[in-house]
Chain A
Amino acid sequence: GAVVSQHPSRVICKSGTSVKIECRSLDFQATTMFWYRQFPKQSLMLMATSNEGSKATYEQGVEKDKFLINHASLTLSTLTVTSAHPEDSSFYICSAGTGLSSETQYFGPGTRLLVL
């Protein structure tokens, strides 16, 4: 199946700093990429949907200025957590899709962020 990578897999940062997480589709062109947040022992919550070359669409309650998403190419999307705080600590997962709702989204392995 298709492969999606995320980098880094784990990051620890100080409160107030910014952290960038990369999501890459390695063997297909991802028209759409999704960013999810998962709290311990909970489900995935969709944060935003990004389409290549356009602004991301954020879900209700997600701060656009806090979580900056850039989808610069058909194989790369980045999520930047700006001015991170301990409450931003979480597991962030991206997925990539081909633009067809009946098709599978391919998920990255996730990035665990710990803000001290």
Chain B
Amino acid sequence: AQSVTQLGSHVSVSEGALVLLRCNYSSSVPPYLFWYVQYPNQGLQLLLKYTSAATLVKGINGFEAEFKKSETSFHLTKPSAHMSDAAEYFCAVSDGDEKLTFGTGTRLTIIP
């Protein structure tokens, strides 16, 4: 069985500052890893995914994440935060059966 841990339920950064959202996973097989963003009262939008190709994955809206097997991590970063980045972010893992297991989410707040 797989699981995901997101450290920090709330993260606040200043506009223009680096965004770092942490995700650690547990999986008995090579995982597929995803980051989704959710705006209030909306569904989830895929930011990026790792599917065993390049370990540094670039997504939409300037986000990227690096798969580090030795650290079992898949942290999400963005060099410069924008006000529109304020949302809930979910890390998710799949171990090949198409089911997604989600982390508990991190609410990102951008300080003007």
B residues near A91, Cβ cutoff 8 Å = 41
Interface footprint category on A: 20 to 34
User: CB distance A107 to B36 under 8 Å?
Assistant: yes
User: CB distance A102 to B32 under 8 Å?
Assistant: yes
User: In the assembly, what is the distance between CA of A12 and CA of B65, in Å?
Assistant: 40
User: CB distance B98 to A32 under 8 Å?
Assistant: yes
User: In the assembly, what is the distance between CA of A100 and CA of B94, in Å?
Assistant: 11
A residues near B102, Cβ cutoff 8 Å = 43-44
B residues near A107, Cβ cutoff 8 Å = 36, 43-45
User: CB distance A112 to B41 under 8 Å?
Assistant: yes
Segment 72-110 of A: residues with Cβ below 8 Å from B: 91, 93, 95, 97, 99-102, 104-110
A residues near B98, Cβ cutoff 8 Å = 32, 49, 97, 99-101, 105
